[in-house]
Amino acid sequence: MKKINVGKVSYTCAIILITGLITAWSVFFINNYYQEKSLKNGSTAALDNLTGSNGNSQVVQNVVERQVVTQEEARIEAINKVSPAIVGVVNFANNATQGEGSGIIYKKDGKDAYIVTNQHVIDKGDYFEVVFSNGEHAEATLIGGDIYTDLAVLKVSDAKVDTVAEFGNTEDLKVGQTVIAIGNPLGLDFAGSATSGIVSGQDRVIAVDLNNDKVDDWEMTVLQTDTAINPGNSGGALINLDGKIVGINSMKIATSSVEGMSFSIPTYVAIPIITDLENYGEVRRPQLGVYIQEMGMIPDRLKEMLKIPTDQKTGVFIYEVFEGGIAEKMGLKAGDIVTAINGEEVEDTMAFRKKLYLMREGDKLELTVIQDGKTTTLSATVAPADKDKVSS
């Protein structure tokens, strides 16, 4: 499970009117109809209204029991639907097992099947093996990975693949809605384990250290749940009661003082990244062709030499501009300070990268820059650049 720095964490119902003329059977029938209709959307308002009425207590008890059975049936159905598409991912390096995680079969195309997992599951591996839900093994080819979103795509022969998981819409989730995690906690000995919980929060922002230098490099947007996630669950599925993927399990807060805080990559973040990895083997993010540095690292004496206000604390310092990159073509120079991207303030290098990397080829890029002591605006059209010549 990925270690994280949590220092920066941003942060129809059915109404049933019951009168004395309605028989106990009518109450049960109407409530049960709406309960089953709205169950998968997490609605329990019908039951709440019933228990607050003067209806027969036995009817209430029957409805409660029926709801429990229906929820149980929905969970079982969802798990059975998705479980065959959940695989184990084994990472080998130098002919030795380096780690085990989980993955999701999300697509069949021709003679190939595609699997999404976490980047940290396949990190530093030179050979990969997939273990299907029936225990069979197959060699997998790494298509590409992305350190920023912690996603990777593998490809295997579809000869042994019968089930493909379906992506759902994370934006439709409500806090309190039931979700289920399926994966391989602690490795393949516990393959196919399922744990249930609720959505605890949407659009959480977690600061992560990507190169283990104890400095935060990126902020991941994640879905928070209280579902039990353990080492080996990484790359597995978070599903709703419709049996659709609403998240890819990635990390948890693992300290003695914290319980029940797990995080998954939302589908609206994952799907565009998966598409790029599948098509290009990498994420096609814009690269300016510059080296950047935090403003806090720039001494006042250098600021004075470059005609930068000594009280300038936000923005990013352009340390070097590479020949042939977007930055050079748009007029950016070493010593410039970028203070905003497309009108949105840039506080530091992490914010700079995040705003830049959310853009795609063809988008308009506008930088607000302090250059030669004056504030100016530089513009360009985004296009991917040669990664060997860029750092941001």
- Catalytic residue numbers? 120, 150, 234
Cα separation values, 213 from 79, 208, 293, Å: 40, 11, 15
Closest by CA position to 185, among listed 97, 269, 105, 262: 262
Backbone conformation region of residue 385, classed left if phi is above 0, alpha if psi is from -120 to 50, else beta: beta
Strands 112-117 vs 127-131: parallel, antiparallel or unpaired: unpaired
